[in-house]
Amino acid sequence: MAFVTASIPTHTRPGGRSARVRAAVHRAVEELLADGGPDVLTIPVIAARAGVHATTVYRRWGSVGELLAAVAASRFSGDIVVPDTGTLRGDLETWVGDVVTDLADPDTLALMRAAIGAGERGGCACTADRHAQLAAMLDRERSRSGTMPDVERAADALLGPLYYRAIFTERPGDAGWARELVASFLS
């Protein structure tokens, strides 16, 4: 007699109740941040806005900080396309301009500030995507012409000032300033 072992899927279904709860809770967080800022964010308030029980939110995310990190990761995944203008300077200028535009969005800033303020590791979830985007541009340029700085140096030179200015000052970046950052990095 032969036995057949059925494989049981271990991944989460893309739809269904779980996806609806996740979407409702994420939307509630973003709405609450837009309406009142991070001070109003508590699990019971978020759950009520989302139309779910607070226990559901606690069980899935554990804390407001973990929830903010998850919302930020979802929000910042894949927003900016890596340009291919034919030159590293053109790619970086276009990309940095797109990042400046993204960081000028008040909802984006509110989420980033709240996630950072919550103190959870990965609070600014956008860094993984931004590093991957930088790596793609630098790797492409390396294949064209040779020596390029590493991603960490590029992130320090380009992303550091962009995020510092957006998050901690009242002076948002602009396209001209962003081009100056690129020129300084490439010199």
Alpha carbons 44 and 179: distance in angstroms, whole number: 44
Q: 77-186 falls under which CATH superfamily?
A: Tetracycline Repressor, domain 2 (1.10.357.10)
What percent of the chain is modeled with pLDDT above 70? 84
Q: Dump pLDDT digits (tens) for 159-181.
A: 999 988 888 887 878 889 999 99
Q: Cβ(165)–Cβ(171) under 8 Å?
A: yes
Q: Cβ(179)–Cβ(90) under 8 Å?
A: no
Q: Dump pLDDT digits (tens) for 85-125.
A: 989 999 999 999 988 888 888 887 877 777 777 765 544 56
Band of the pLDDT at 6, cuts 50, 70, 90?
Answer: very low
Burial class (CB in 10 A: 0-12, 13-18, 19+), 82: middle
Backbone angle region of 86, left / alpha / beta, with phi > 0 → left and psi within -120 to 50 → alpha: left
Give the helix, strand, coil percentages of the chain, each rounded to 5. 70, 0, 30
What pLDDT is attached to residue 4?
Answer: 42
Q: Can you give the pTM of this predicted structure? A: 0.72
Q: Dump pLDDT digits (tens) for 117-152.
A: 776 554 456 677 888 889 999 999 988 876 788 899
CA atoms within 13 A on the CB side of 73: 12
Per-residue pLDDT, averaged over 36-55, amounts to: 89
Q: How far is CA 107 from the centre of its chain?
A: 12
What pLDDT is attached to residue 125?
Answer: 60
**CATH top-level class of 17-62:** mainly alpha
Q: Please tell me which residue, 178 or 76, carries the higher pLDDT value.
A: 178
Q: Please tell me which residue, 14 or 114, carries the higher pLDDT value.
A: 114
Q: Cβ(77)–Cβ(129) under 8 Å?
A: yes
Tokens of 147: 């020596």
Q: From the CB of residue 161, how many other CB atoms can be counted at a distance below 10 Å?
A: 18
Q: From the CB of residue 168, how many other CB atoms can be counted at a distance below 10 Å?
A: 10
Tokens of 132: 């991957």
Tokens 């064209």 sit at which residue? 144
Q: Evaluate if residue 74 carries a pLDDT over 90.
A: no
Q: From the CB of residue 80, how many other CB atoms can be counted at a distance below 10 Å?
A: 18
- CA angle 62–67–70, rounded 5-degree value: 125
DSSP-derived secondary structure letter, 39: G
Q: Evaluate if residue 3 carries a pLDDT over 60.
A: no
Domain spans in the chain, listed from the N-terminal domain onward: 17-62, 77-186
Q: Do domains 17-62 and 77-186 have the same CATH topology?
A: no
